[in-house]
Chains A and B, each alone.
Chain A
Amino acid sequence: AQKITQTQPGMFVQEKEAVTLDCTYDTSDQSYGLFWYKQPSSGEMIFLIYQGSYDEQNATEGRYSLNFQKARKSANLVISASQLGDSAMYFCAMSFYTGANSKLTFGKGITLSVRP
């Protein structure tokens, strides 16, 4: 079974500084995908970044980068130059690659607050 662990209950960061949100995962599968989503108070889940288990390079998308350490089973999200609009819940999630089993397993989420 897949499991995602996000243990930081809440994070605070000063505007324009970088912040790292932690995510560890557990799976016995070799082929999987890792995602980070942002959920503002409006409720919509906004895709941020994706890392495949066979990708050798860490994924980057603008101010977001994923620090993927496969041996340690961690997939931390790094947000550079935080903005006030980054205040939201952040979810780490994992999926299988098999065509017959397509679902996301989510962590509990982390609340990020950006201070001006």
Chain B
Amino acid sequence: KAGVTQTPRYLIKTRGQQVTLSCSPISGHRSVSWYQQTPGQGLQFLFEYFSETQRNKGNFPGRFSGRQFSNSRSEMNVSTLELGDSALYLCASSFNGEGYTFGSGTRLTVV
């Protein structure tokens, strides 16, 4: 069966712009969570969506937002980009919280 698909794989944006990243989970998985990975901070939890509702949120400013659609696909949006937002953004899908499958990630560079 198809894995978790994240698009795009690479992205270069300018400070002040906004960006939208997409994640399609494994078929049947209703939970989608997002993580930011940077060399300095490591892997940090952004938020989790389950059945179109945000169920959990990490410690990130309001510029980071997300949503989930009825087909479980999720998007995350970062507005007013800062240089520090440059990171690998990983999405994970889960059926029951006992297994998380990750996508290949989106590498965002802010210049």
| Interface segment out of the listed B13-21, B62-70, B76-84, B88-96 | B88-96
A45 contacts the other chain (CB 8 A): yes
Closest Cβ neighbor of B44 among chain A residues: A106
Number of interface residues of A (CB under 8 A): 27
- The answer to whether B56 touches A50, judged by C-beta atoms less than 8 angstroms apart, is no
Q: A33-B98, A95-B100, A108-B42 are in contact. Are A102 and B105 (CB under 8 A)?
A: no
Q: Chain A residues with Cβ under 8 A from B45's Cβ?
A: 103-105
- CA distance in complex: A52, B97 (Å): 11
Contact of A47 (CB < 8 Å), options: B33, B56, B101: B101
B97 touches A95 (CB 8 A): yes
B100 adjacent to A104 (CB under 8 Å): yes
Cβ-defined contact, B42 with A102, below 8 A: no
B-contact 0/1 string along A41-61, CB 8 Å cutoff = 011111100101000000000
Is B25 in contact with chain A by the CB < 8 A criterion? no
Counting from the closest, the 10 A-B pairs by CB-CB distance are: A45-B102, A106-B43, A102-B97, A44-B104, A43-B105, A103-B45, A108-B42, A43-B88, A102-B48, A103-B56
Contacts A43-B88, A46-B102 given; 17 further ones with Cβ under 8 A? A43-B107, A44-B103, A44-B104, A45-B105, A47-B100, A50-B99, A95-B100, A97-B97, A99-B97, A102-B31, A102-B50, A103-B33, A104-B33, A104-B43, A104-B45, A104-B100, A106-B43
Which residues of chain B have a CB within 8 Å of any CB of chain A?
Answer: 31, 33, 35, 42-43, 45, 48, 50, 55-56, 58, 88, 90, 92, 94, 97-105, 107
A-B contact pairs, 24 of them (CB 8 A): A33-B98, A42-B104, A43-B88, A43-B105, A44-B102, A44-B104, A45-B105, A46-B102, A47-B100, A93-B43, A95-B98, A95-B100, A96-B97, A97-B97, A101-B55, A102-B33, A103-B33, A103-B45, A103-B56, A104-B35, A104-B100, A108-B42, A109-B42, A109-B43
